[in-house]
Amino acid sequence: MSFASDIKRFVRKVEQRNRAVYVGVATAVHGSVVRGSYVTGALGQPVDTGFLQGSWKLNIGKEEATIATNVAYARVIEDNSRAAYDARGVLPKKKDGDAPRRKSIKSTVGGHHSVKTTIAGATLLQDAVLRDLGQ
């Protein structure tokens, strides 16, 4: 045992803890965007076929993690712009005699704005991960 080896052990321990926090936060952010989170209040992705939900990929690099989807309509779901007349309302008739038309997402799980809600609650997620890791 030497002071130098003590320092090395301490450095390794700190690095391991940093890595655990980094991976934990990245995983929690991905979970919040995809499945929702009580910590951030995000609803997660709506599910019809599961294509959009399954498309959100988490890539944890050495120093940077990315969470991304290549599904073209993901932005429309995120911003709730598909039903711009009000998803809960009735669309105006195109011509007299038309029945009222509705545009709403069929899914009973998930919702909109999960990315921005997750970003807004990122500090809460960090705190939750730190608590879970006992730090």
Closer of 15 and 127 to other proteins (Cβ): 127
Determine which residue in the list 47, 60, 71, 124 makes contact with other proteins, applying CB under 8 A.
124
Q: Please, which of residues 50-109 interact with other proteins by CB under 8 A?
A: 75-76, 79-86, 88-92, 103
Which residue type does 8 have?
K
Cβ-count burial of 41 within 10 angstroms (0-12 exposed, 13-18 middle, 19+ buried)?
A: middle
Closer of 53 and 114 to other proteins (Cβ): 114
39 counts as binding other proteins under rule CB under 8 A: yes
Closer of 48 and 86 to other proteins (Cβ): 86
Exposure string over 44-68, b if 16+ CB within 10 A, otherwise e: bbbbeeeebbeebebeeeeeebebe
Q: For the chain, where are the E strands, in sequence order?
A: 57-60, 65-68
Residue 16: phi and psi, rounded to 5, are -65, -40
Q: Name the residues that contact other proteins, by CB under 8 A.
A: 37-41, 75-76, 79-86, 88-92, 103, 112-113, 116-117, 119-124, 127
